[in-house]
Amino acid sequence: MGSCFSKKSKRKFEKELTPTSNGAQNTTNNNAEEEPKQYSWDKRDKVDPNDYILKGAKDTTIGRLPGTLNGQQLVIQDCENCNIYIFDHSATISIDDCTNCRVVLGPVKGSVFIRDCKDMKCVVACQQFRTRDCKKVDVFLSCATQPIIESSTGMNFGCFQYYYPDLAFHFKDAGLSIFNNNWSNVHDFTPVSGETNWSLLPVDAAVLEYVPVPDSESEFKSVRVLTDASRSIVPLTRGGRRKESDESCLFVFFAGDYTTANARKLIDEATGKGFVLIQTKESDAEDLTELITKGPVVALELNGDGVVEACRNIAEEVFNGTRVFVSESKNTSTADVDNFFNFADMQMGL
């Protein structure tokens, strides 16, 4: 066994007993009371857990204004007939045992978990979305991964459609891309033979018909909310609904300073001509196809008769000088779309 009085500690001990110039041992520090050492976590503001719990509310409007959560987690529990607005980004949010509530959740960096709830109408942006033991929940969703339901019935999903002034910043703070939205790719952990536990909301479903904007008497009236699909931070996509045309086009913007703005401009141009946005994807994956080199890209699938020719015209007229890829013909465009999005999903673990 080794000695508990090592050579290193012995040298330290001898140094502390080295005589001073007047021949006395330096014992000043030994007798003085040492101040407690300060660590970085000691200097942080103390967090009151009660500030991050909304519990037991009934027939009222509650929530959090921008800047009040700042990436913390939140618990919503035992609420009934409430309008709940979370206008901030957060780490995780759980909603338990709530009934007949309308809920808006700003971007959540991690998971949103809804349990034992019924008759809910929600607008949610998150990395992961999951429900358990829920009944009759309508969700306008932006989800970076595949939404999951478990032991839940009457679940209806639509594409996220929402705007408030800080929302784009909150997406960035939460590490979420507005182009990575798998809202319609729902996985049911507990399917029942012959029954359907979930479906998609009508294509023309409007958020305002499900979740009201804050009323003029609430503390949230200062937050300017828009629910029109054309003003939504997240692009409105058709998702898993049946395509209206057999012709789709892949349009890819390569990394650049204006990639997001250019993608939005394309959406406006294409939808203004009657074409439909099916899906979008932002990916840092390398070599997604032979046509794509290293670097993040934003890809869009647009659908409609004549869409390939129209997109190539838009690329030449509107994005001349911008580095893009556009399907060359309708004979190869379907393969372009499938190859890109399938490989991107595989790379992202979807």
Q: Give the single-character DSSP code of 97.
A: S
- What is the rounded distance in angstroms from the CA atom of residue 316 to the CA atom of residue 62? 50
State how far the Cα of 220 lies from the Cα of 222, in Å rounded to an integer.
5
324-326 vs 248-254, strand pairing mode: antiparallel
Q: How many CB atoms lie within 10 A of CB 214?
A: 20
Q: What are phi and psi of 336, to 5 degrees?
A: -60, -50
Can you say which residues are annotated as belonging to the binding site for GTP? 110-111, 127-130
The dihedral region occupied by 20, where left means phi > 0, alpha psi between -120 and 50, and beta the remainder, is beta
Among the listed residues 317, 327, 238, the one whose alpha carbon sits nearest the alpha carbon of residue 278: 238
Rounded to whole angstroms, the Cα distance separating 319 from 81 reads 49
Q: With beta carbons less than 8 A apart as the criterion, state whether 197 and 155 touch.
A: yes
Question: What is the Cα–Cα distance from 54 to 50, expressed in whole angstroms?
Answer: 8
How big is the CA angle at 156 (ends 95 and 187), to the nearest 5 degrees?
80
Amino acid in the structure at residue 197: N
CA-wise closest residue to 311 among 244, 250, 261: 250
Annotated binding site: 110-111, 127-130
